[in-house]
Amino acid sequence: MSSEVKQFKIRWGMVIDIDKCTGCGACMVACQAENNVAPAVDGSNKLRSLNWLTVFRLSNHKPFPDHEVAYLPRPCMQCGKPSCVSVCPVIATDKREEGGIVSQIPPRCIGCRYCMASCPYHARYFNWYDPKWPGDLAQALTPDVSTRMRGVVEKCSFCHHRFMKAQEAAVARGEDPMNLPDGAYITACTEACPNGAITFGDLNNPAHKVHELIKSPYAFRLLERLGTEPQVYYLSRREWVRREGDNYLEHEKTGEATKQG
Amino acid sequence: MDRRGFLKFAAGGTVGLVASPIIWNTLYDAVYWTQNWGWIPRLKKGESQYVPTVSKLCPSGTGFLVRTVSGVPVRTIGDKNNPVTHGAMTALAAAEAELRVSPARLKTPLRRSPDGAYIAISWAEAEKLLKEKTQQAGASVAAVSGDPTSSINEVLSSILNQQGSSDFYFMPDEEQPAAVAWEAMGGQGRLGYDMEGSDCILAVGAPVLESWGVVAANRSLFNRTHPVGGEAGQKLIYAGAVQNNTAAGADLWLPMKSGTDMALLLGMAHLVIKAGKNGFAAGLGNFASFAAAYTPEKVSAITGVPQERLEAAAKALVEAKKPLVIAGSALGSGGSAGSVMAAIALNMLLGSVNREGGLLDLPYPVSVVAHATDYRDTMRKRFVDYTQNVAAGKTKAPALFFVYAANPVYSLPADSGVKETIKKSGYSVAVASFMSETCEECDLVLPAALGMEAFDDVQTPYGSGRVTYALARPVAKPFADARSAGELFIALAQELKLELGVKDMPELLYKHAYALGAPFRAMMDEGAVHTARVTLPASPLFYNWEAIRAAASARGEEGDLQVAPVVVLAMGTPQTAIPPFATKVVTDYQLKGRYSVAQMNGATAAKLKVNAGDLVKLVAGNNVQITVVAAIFEGILPDTVSLVAGLGHTAFDEFSKGKGSNVLALTSVRREPGTGLPVWGLAGVKAARA
Amino acid sequence: MEERNNTTTPATAAKKCSCGWGAFVVGLVVALILGWWVLPNLMKETKKQPIAFSHVEHVQNQGMTCEQCHFVRADGSFSGTPTTAQCAECHFTVLGSNPEEARFVREYVQTGREIKSEWLVYQKQPDNVFFSHALHFGPLAELKGPKETAEFCSRCHLNVAETDVPPVYRENRLSGYSENTMLMWGCERCHAEHMAMGNTNASNACFTCHK
């Protein structure tokens, strides 16, 4: 695998405004329902539960009453230099399609879990057991994403099927499927967020909102200095939140890694 | 054939097989086979449709598009064209397509046999039973509804009235104390909040971004006033004991001890009067001198809010063009009227009454069913007074007791007398969609269709700033043998030869739409939603300082610790319990295995000598004892533990049952001084390491 | 071993040898017959379509176009085979004299039974294969007449345009798919070779088809 950042004409990306997120979890519910992630009986067991998108609670680590709280939704970062792709022995995960979404094909996966070890964001999950939809729950499966089986790894796909649907719809309207208007393709979590904390679009396309948003002085990415070049950006006006995005030493300032790019 | 010949034959056979496609094709087929394990469900493909309707499970009547595939609902997606919720979803509404087919869903009518077990019966049998029992009961019939926004209530209350009973109740909710307060202050209509028009909202105790009012609408407002990466157009100040979801979105958090809402509001009143805000109305002088006792020092000592934050909040209110103060309760029921009165007084001082961005006087929903009790009259009645009287033997137990869309056995304090009322009543009937704790107590359980399976409606929910009316339309067939509750009650009335003035649900909805001037056709065909700003003659409000003084005299909580409950919609409502697709939203600081998690700050933990992860016993004033896991979180007042509501179910399915403890078990019913309103006292608890 | 060799005369050895080659050939032929014909047939189960639908009748005699039943919906998804409701737009009552039609009206239209869920799809793919018809219909607009369209579609599908009865449906007992189901190499004729049908921009990335 080359160590170059993969370049694409279209680069789907997400900008998550942490100051707008209040941690309600509607995005997580929508994600599971859309992508046919089986429900967990004990979802509070975070070692066993499988989420493509997880909302983490952040703290400014100050004691009461100066404590502040923030919530951080974490999808797959769709890295520009994905460490998972380079370690997969069977090319079950790959990044080579327009849009720059890192694909994961569970039936091709052999379950070695190298990708999970290599992902610095813990965005990948392993099916330790067969997924179960007790009773009649399987009736509510969507037709968009195939169900997985025990022994394979899965992760967020930026609802790639919605990209395909948006392309189909564009073709049906006689438009260019490779030049979708802003909002024609958004993920289920973006759609579900009641606070509008998630903005989704083509980072390369000046007609898309995200193109401008990532230039904000408040924008940052998670563990930016690892050089994974995520396609997911976060926004926060609060310095302490931005500092939570990476392991900073006391004298270090945020925002420098972005400039190095 | 000899051995050598056989070997050659075999060799020939091998070469032949290798040269034919069978082995390779079989290998290929085996690959396909491994992708289709029989025990993993397959997808059903088909045509997708997106039908707009509203949620009847989510208390805010979230407007969503139900996506069906070949007629089966698979997703619910926020409806951007809904003028109330603007496409905003809640974790509960997002899980509704899956809730529709959840294991806890009731499939057929159930009748309790003498040995206590349930027997599945047919609808014909159930209806016959229902008719007989209603006829036998005569006037001795009572009913409670947990869905105040539905006009199905009118059918049920009409049946009761025509039988000669006036015992139709709403479950205790956020509106009942507010209605008492608004009336006490001179309000003549229904209390409304124009949050959209305000530029600074102070929410005291009311988690406006998670459970208070029309949550989905509140969230969409938060979205619109807080542009991504831009300057907020509306300030939000939240006062509560825990840094909950609302505090996370607020510009300023006032860490306020549970149950000290009134002191905080009176302290704010004192500060805004000092700053020259003194909107005139009768009683101003008396109120001002009463509030003058609530100096920042004193309020800070009572509420725990640092003085400078009190002053910052008051400054924000004084400087805002259209400030709005909202009071509410963390639990969404059992709140006090006094704090709402104080909030109304504060709004009056700020000039935020009967104007854009302030408190409004809205019309109450009207009844269109013959002999039905009006919404307002039902809202005035107190269910807990009734059940406690029945339990104590002061009121005769009803011969027939209906529980519609409610789960009072779970959602009311243990001493509310509900369980006893059900036990004492001659026959109890639950009309519900899920197998709740209340269903398990009843003699007859009837499976009700969900909002997406039947005709129903959402009339202006409490917390709205305008009149709204939305229809729930059947998008899919009712699950299994479930049936529209509205049609069931109408059929019962017809069987009993009672007069309703409507023959079916669509006609009932039509009459409502007509009364409101709403576009019924468009609502029915396209899922349009009616909204209207209705201005009534301004109510002659006055500072009812005596009522406020009486309410403020309520005694504080005892015990070493305060319990601060947190409501999150991901836990569902008492009627739904935890939706299967929301269990992963439940965090490890809310639930750990089978224990609720009690969050407390480091200082509290040190005082109690517990570490994160320790098991702690909490003993409430009513001697109820629960075991919880301690967790450290600095966003909580000292001497306070926070517990999430919605756990501790003993019914429903594996997604809800046996998880944690019910916060309501720690509460007990008290009467508010002055109003006599039943309020849930979160009795102070004692804690010890388990 | 040595002992046995000693007892064999050169003449008998030669005879046995020739007989042995015969055994090899017999084995080869038997295996080839088994491997090419008997076993593949045993692996497959012939199934009958629920209705003996005639494309000839609909297209040639009644002058219908393909798109009347098989069309791209407004959202870009493809309708596939028609539903009972679609068929009933014409066949709400028996129109002709064909007994199959009468049976269809009686058993499906009048009872509301869904023909679409019973129809055996020759090109049915596993759940994790997602195919977009709309994105493959680029050249379709320029094609004229059912014949050209049928030719275009039959690059992947069986050409059914001129069939009076549905083709035989044979299902693999192991995989559960029709013998006509296209395998991945069939897709790769274009997806791996960009210029196979002119520049089709076909991507061979996994997510293009799999999810």
ipTM of the complex, rounded to two decimals: 0.93
Residue pairs between chains B and C whose CB atoms are closer than 8 Å: 104
Sign of the CA dihedral with B266 first, then B270, B275, and B278 last? positive
CA–CA dist B331, A109 (Å, integer): 47
- Is C208 in Cβ contact with A165 (below 8 Å)? no
Residue A261: which pLDDT band, with cuts at 50, 70 and 90? Answer: very low
Best interface-test mutation with A: which of B49, B64, B215, B585 has the largest number of A CBs within 10 A?
A: B585
Query: How, if at all, do strands B200-204 and B323-327 pair?
Result: parallel
Tokens of B224: 């619109």
- The length of chain C in residues reads 211
Q: Are A182 and A207 in contact (CB under 8 A)?
A: yes
Q: Where are the alpha helices (DSSP H) in chain A?
A: 26-34, 83-87, 114-118, 160-172, 188-192, 209-213, 239-244, 256-260
Residue with tokens 């100050």: A62
Does the N-terminal peptide bond of residue A65 adopt cis geometry, omega within 30 degrees of 0?
A: yes
Helices (H) and strands (E) in chain B, counts: 24, 28
Hey, is the C-beta of A194 within 8 angstroms of any chain B C-beta? yes
Q: Looking at chain B, which residue has its C-alpha nearest residue A196? A: B223
The mean pLDDT of C49-56, rounded to a whole number, is 91
**Mean pLDDT computed over every residue of chain C:** 83
Longest dimension (CA), chain A: 58
DSSP string, B590-654: TEETTEEEEEE-HHHHHHHT--TT-EEEEE-TT--EEEEEEEE-SSB-TTEEEEESS--BSSS-T
Q: How far is B158 from chain A (nearest CA, A)?
A: 36
What's the pLDDT at C9? 52
| pLDDT recorded at residue B230 | 85
Cβ separation of B243 and A69 shorter than 8 Å?
yes
Q: Give the minimum alpha-carbon distance from C196 to chain B in angstroms, rounded to a whole number.
A: 25
Q: Which residues pair with B562 in a beta bridge?
A: B640
The angle that helices B261-274 and B296-303 make with each other, rounded to 10 degrees, is: 160
3-state helix/strand/coil string of C168-192: CEEEECCCCCECCCCCHHHHHHHHC
The verdict on a CB contact (< 8 Å) between C24 and B8 is: yes
Q: B364 burial class (0-12, 13-18, 19+ CB within 10 angstroms)?
A: middle
CB contact under 8 A, A67 and B243: yes
**What are the φ/ψ torsions at residue A206 (nearest 5 degrees)?**
-60, -20
The pLDDT tens digits of the residues spanning A136-166 come to: 999 999 999 999 999 999 999 999 999 999 9
Residue B199: count other Cβ atoms within 10 Å of its Cβ.
17
d(CA B393, CA B395): 5
Strands B444-447 and B427-432: parallel
**Chain A (14-73) residues lying within 8 Å, Cβ to Cβ, of chain B:** 15, 17, 19-26, 28-30, 32-34, 36, 39-46, 49, 51, 55, 57, 59, 61-65, 67-71
Beta bridge partners of B203: B238, B326
pLDDT bin (cut points 50, 70, 90) of residue C14 is very low
Is a pLDDT exceeding 60 seen at residue A3?
no
Cβ separation of A171 and C135 shorter than 8 Å? yes
Q: Chain C residue closest to B36 (CA)? A: C126
Q: C76-115: per-residue pLDDT in tens?
A: 889 989 999 999 999 988 888 889 999 999 999 999 899 9
Q: Of C76, C127, C128, which has the smallest distance from its Cβ to A172's Cβ?
A: C76
Residue type, B564: A
Q: How many CB atoms lie within 10 A of CB B322?
A: 18
Q: Is the CB of A143 inside 8 Å of chain B's CB atoms?
A: yes
Tokens (6 digits) for B660? 């944690």
Its pTM stands at 0.92
Q: Best interface-test mutation with A: which of B58, B101, B254, B581 has the largest number of A CBs within 10 A?
A: B581
- Answer whether B516's CB lies under 8 Å from B510's CB: no
Contact yes or no for B62/B55 (Cβ under 8 A): yes
CA distance B219 to chain A (A): 6
Looking at residue A142, what is its pLDDT? Answer: 96
CB B359 within 8 A of CB B193: yes
Instruction: Measure the CA–CA gap between C29 and C25, rounded to whole angstroms.
Output: 6
Residue where the block lists tokens 């879990």: A113
Q: How far apart are CA B644 and CA B159, in angstroms?
A: 38
- pLDDT for res B313: 97
- Residues B133, B427 contacting (CB under 8 angstroms): yes
Q: What is the mean pLDDT of residues A227-247?
A: 94
Is A226's pLDDT higher than 50? yes
Residues of B in contact with A29 (CB under 8 A): 91, 94-95, 570, 579, 581-582, 585
DSSP state letter for A11:
B
Please write the tens of the pLDDT for every residue from B408-420.
999 999 899 999 9
Q: For A107, which of B35, B245, B580 is closest by C-beta distance? A: B35
Are the beta carbons of A137 and B102 separated by less than 8 Å? yes
CB B332, CB B212: distance < 8 Å: yes
For the residues B498-514, what does the mean pLDDT come to? 96
Of B9, B65, B68, which to mutate for an interface test with C (greatest number of C Cβ within 10 Å)?
B9
Stretch B307-330: mean pLDDT, rounded?
96
All residues of chain B having their beta carbon less than 8 Å from the beta carbon of residue A149 are 37, 40
Start-to-end CA span in chain C (Å) = 62
Interchain contact B8–C (C-beta under 8 A): yes
Answer for the pair A104, A78: CB distance below 8 angstroms, yes or no: no
CB B86 within 8 A of CB B421: no
Find the helix or strand (DSSP H, E) in which B63 lies.
strand B63-69
Contacts of B585 in chain A (CB under 8 A): 25, 28-29, 43, 55
Degrees, nearest 5: CA angle A11-A14-A15: 130
Provide the CA B596 distance to its chain's centre, in angstroms.
20
pLDDT at B621: 80
Contact (CB, 8 A) for C116 and C81: yes
pLDDT digits (tens, 9 = 90+) for B164-191: 999 999 999 999 999 999 999 999 999 9
CB–CB of A73/A234 below 8 Å?
no
pLDDT at residue B381 tops 90: yes
Report percent pLDDT > 90 for chain C.
27
User: Which of B228, B244, B479, B649 to substitute to test the interface with A, most A CBs within 10 Å?
Assistant: B228
Check if A166 contacts B (Cβ < 8 Å). Answer: no
Of C131, C211, C125, give the one whose Cα is nearest residue C176: C125
Residue C199: pLDDT band by 50, 70, 90 thresholds? low
B227 close contact with C: CB closer than 8 A: no
Region class of B322: left (phi > 0), else alpha (psi between -120 and 50), else beta: beta
Contacts of B580 (CB under 8 A, 6+ apart): A39, A134, A137, B95, B98, B99, B102, B103, B653, B655
Residue B330's Cβ-count burial label (10 Å; 0-12, 13-18, 19+) is buried
Q: Within chain B, what is the greatest distance between any pair of CA atoms?
A: 123
In this complex, do B5 and C126 lie within 8 Å of one another by their Cβ atoms?
A: no
Task: Give the mean model confidence (pLDDT) for residues B262-286.
Answer: 95
Which residue out of B18, B25, B50, B70 would a mutagenesis test of the C interface target, given it has the greatest number of C Cβ atoms within 10 Å? Answer: B25
Under an 8 A CB cutoff, do A171 and C205 touch? no
| pLDDT at site C1 | 41
Contact B509, B167 (CB under 8 A): no
Residues of C with CB under 8 A from a CB of A: 72-77, 126-128, 130, 132, 134-135, 137, 203, 205-208, 210-211
B445 forms beta bridges with B110, B430
Confidence band for B121, pLDDT divided at 50, 70 and 90: very high
Task: Collect all residues of chain B within an 8 Å Cβ-Cβ radius of residue C73.
Answer: 47
Kindly report the backbone phi and psi dihedral angles of residue B483, in degrees, each rounded to the nearest multiple of 5, phi listed first. Answer: -145, 150
Residues B90, B78: Cα–Cα separation, whole Å: 9
Asked if C35 lies within 8 A of B2 by C-beta distance, the reply is: no
pLDDT (average), residues B48-67: 94
Quick check: A26 and B90 in contact, CB under 8 A? yes
Query: Do B150 and B168 contact (CB within 8 A), yes or no?
Result: no
Taking only the tens place, the pLDDT of each residue in B585-622 is: 999 999 998 999 999 999 999 999 999 999 999 998 88
Nearest CA in chain C to A35: C211
The model's confidence at residue B247, banded by pLDDT at 50, 70 and 90, is very high
| Residue C139 pLDDT | 63
CA distance A153 to chain C (A): 13
- Angle, CA B287 vertex, CA B286 and CA B289 arms, to 5°: 65
Q: What would the two tokens of residue C45 be?
A: 């189960």
pLDDT at B87 over 70: yes
> Which chains neighbour A (Cβ–Cβ under 8 Å, 3 or more pairs)?
B, C
Distance CA B298, CA B312 (A): 16
> What CA–CA distance (Å, rounded) separates B553 from B126?
51
CA of C80: which chain B residue's CA is closest? B46
Q: Which amino acid is at B191?
A: L
* pLDDT tens digits, B572-582: 999 999 999 99
**Which of A161, A169, A172 is opposite residue C211, by nearest beta carbon?**
A161
Q: Name the minimum distance, in Å, from the CA of B20 to any CA of chain C.
A: 5
Helix residue spans in A139-181 (DSSP H)? 160-172
Give the span between the Cα atoms of C190 and C136, in whole angstroms: 11
With contacts defined as CB-CB under 8 Å, which chain A residues touch C76?
165, 167-172
Given an 8 Å threshold on Cβ–Cβ distance, is C211 in contact with A145?
Answer: yes
Task: Tell me what pLDDT residue B470 has.
Answer: 96
